[in-house]
Each structure stands twice: as structure tokens, then as C-alpha cells.
Amino acid sequence: MRAVGLSADRPGPLVPVEWLAERLGSPGLVVLDASVSAHRSPDRGAHRAVDRSVDMGADRRIPGARVFDLDGALSDHSGPLPHTMPGPEAFAREMRAVGVHDADTVIVYDAAGVYSSARAWWMLRAMGFDRVAVLDGGLPAWSGAGLPCESGDAAAWPEGDFTARPRPGLVVGSDEVAAALSDPEAVVIDARARGRFTGTAPEPRAGLRGGHMPGAVNLPFVELQREGRMLPVPELRAAFAGLVGERERLVFSCGSGVTACVLALGAELAGYRALSVYDGSWSEWGLPSERPVVTGERN
């Protein structure tokens, strides 16, 4: 019989490295490395420290960590957009392949701090799995605390019994975003750098229009972090309150649906609950189309 997961001991959607260090290797605890390749991410260069950290962590991992392959099987490659959600069957198959069980507690991290790990956290939530948390500061914080890493081939593990139970509304498409833009009770928040939001800086993917959705507001994901860790809850609340006012329905967008999830994590920590991530993000909205785009500061 499998041990019951550690969900009752998990303090929330974000855990410090000390929490994981004390429990690493416990039955029912799975650690997933959700790092993305800096050279394959369409948003590489959005924050230079991300590129450096990913490259430095390419051959190292937390002991016993398994791969959450966001660049590979855990994105839907049947269409032209990067990092889009796979279907529930494909997602469940990959989670079982890395040995995740329904009763497990999962900790996700990445080599950049808190970057693509937030995307893995949100994907698991969207598939109905709540016993998941992000490692605050990721691999840089783990290494910085003097904790051990390993390299080489990962150990094998038995197949899991993960069950996907998709939750409607956590991941949305362009029609839902368009509706949110005209809804006075909702706000669309863009996680891209300010230059990309205003259209004064080029998009890293060829063929995309510059600028932003009319009515969207800008909160670059790095502004929710300090030295690779998420800001304290009072500061997160202040960051959101200044943009959203009394609105509680928040829809997040970015370049390819990855750093939008950093905003979702920050909003969850700040106490917001009606949250959605635009899966296609600017990689879809910014394509030449009839979808409206504006430039300059907030419109």
C-alpha cells in the first residue's frame, strides 16, 4: 500500500527550500524539475537572469527530481503555438510515466528561480490536482542554501496512477479573453516586459504585432519577485490592488502562457481566487488578425 501524500503538511502553493530539504525522499513526495531550455523558449531574453540560470542548471537537479518536460511532451505540438496545454489523456499519461500518483504531494521547481515551475503548478491545478506547490527560488535558492544536487541519469521509478480531472476556466482561449476585456468585473493582466507591452520593444518571435490588448494592464512578472523568490504576501497584495481595484476576476497573459502563471501564483498567494491563464497568450493574440492591438501605455 502506498503512503498517503504529504498534503496536510504542505503550507500552501509556495514552499521554501528548507521545507523541501527536511522532507526530501519521504514516501508520497515527488519533486519535478520543470526547467525550460533558454534557447527554445520564445520569451528567452525577456529577463537575462533567466537565461543564465537555466543554462547554469542544465546538468544539475535536486536529488531524486523527475522531469516535467514542458518543452517536450507536456506541451501540445500539434498546433503552431508554443507551450500550449496538452489534452487530459496526454497529460495524465506523462504524469504516470514520471511516477506521479493521485495521493502524492508534488513540488515543482526550475533552474531560473520561479519561472516555468509556475506553469507546471498551474497545469497540474488545471488538471484537477491540488497537492502541488512551487519551490520558492527554485534551483538557485536550493544551491545557494548549500543543499546537494545530482547529475547524470535519473533513477527509474514505477508508473503512477495520476488521474486528470480537468477544471474548466483555469486555462482559457482568445474568445474568453475578449469577453473578459469587455467585462467591468474582470481585468486582463499582461506579464510581458513593459517595452513589449507598449510596443516600443520588439517581440522575440517573428511575425507578431507589437503592443497589447485594449484595456489590458501590465505587470511584468519579475516585479513580483526579489532575487528569484516571490515577494512577501503584503507586497504581492499591494502590487495587484493598485492595478485591479475591486475587481476579482483576473485573466493572465504573457508571451507563450508561461510567465502568466507566475502572475497566477502571485495572485493566489495574495488571496485572489477567480483566476485564469490565457493559453495562447501573445503568441496567438499578436498574430496578424482582426483581434485588436494598441500601443503606448495603458488604454
Each residue's pLDDT tens digit, 123-158: 999 999 999 999 999 999 999 999 999 998 878 889
Q: How far is residue 232 from each of residues 26, 120, 193, 239, measured CA to CA in Å?
A: 28, 21, 21, 11
The CATH number given to 171-285 is: 3.40.250.10
Read off the pTM.
0.92
8 Å CB contact between 14 and 108: no
Residue 11's pLDDT band, with cuts at 50, 70 and 90, is low
Main-chain phi, psi angles of 86, to 5 degrees: -75, 165
> Percent of the chain scored above 70 by pLDDT?
89
Same CATH topology for 7-144 and 171-285: the answer is: yes
Q: For 240-290, what is each residue's pLDDT tens digit? A: 999 999 999 999 999 999 999 999 999 999 999 999 999 999 999 999 999
- pLDDT for residue 40 is more than 80: no
Which three cell numbers mark 234? 503584503
Looking at residue 163, what DSSP letter applies? -
pLDDT at 45: 46
Write out the catalytic residue numbers. Answer: 254
- pLDDT for residue 86 is more than 50: yes
- pLDDT for residue 121 is more than 90: yes
How high is the mean pLDDT of the chain?
91
pLDDT at 66: 96
pLDDT at 3: 36
> Percent of the chain scored above 90 by pLDDT?
84
- pLDDT for residue 54 is more than 80: no
DSSP letters along 80-134, please? SSTTPPPPHHHHHHHHHHTT--TT-EEEEEBTTBSSHHHHHHHHHHHTT---EEE
Q: Which CATH number fits domain 7-144: 3.40.250.10, 3.30.70.60, 3.30.465.10, 3.30.70.980?
A: 3.40.250.10
Residue 5's pLDDT band, with cuts at 50, 70 and 90, is very low
pLDDT at 1: 30
For residue 110, the Cα-to-chain-centroid distance in whole angstroms is 10
- Give me the residue spans of the domains in the chain: 7-144, 171-285
Closest among 278, 254, 270 to 115, alpha carbons compared: 254
